[in-house]
Amino acid sequence: MKASLIETRNIDAYLRGTMSPEDREHFQVRLVSEADLYEKVLVQQQVQDYLLLYARKELKKELEVVQHKVFQQSRFEGFRRIIQQIFK
């Protein structure tokens, strides 16, 4: 496996908190001593944050479509009443 892919996976494991305590400690030492690794972690964190934001926006769009169907189409009248009762 390429070294860059291994490093990317290690950064991902670090950001997700899935490293073993020993590996995490070793990685944190590397972060302090290797400026380029620190920069890569910052970039990967930003990418993950942007992807999460994008996924949330896409989910919101999908939910708006479902909401429109449920509250505008007559075939969902019974379901709509149940939902409205729950959130009264």
Q: Would you state the pLDDT for residue 1?
A: 66
Domain boundaries, the chain: 3-86
- Residue 29 contacts by C-beta under 8 Å, 6 or more apart in sequence? none
Q: Would you state the pLDDT for residue 39?
A: 96
pTM of the entire predicted model:
0.69
Predicted confidence band at 79 (pLDDT cuts at 50, 70, 90)?
confident
Q: What confidence tens digit (pLDDT) does each residue in 66-75 have?
A: 888 888 888 8
Q: Is 66 exposed, middle or buried (0-12, 13-18, 19+ CB in 10 A)?
A: exposed
Q: What confidence tens digit (pLDDT) does each residue in 17-61 have?
A: 999 999 999 999 999 999 999 999 999 999 999 999 999 999 999
Tokens of 20: 């073993």
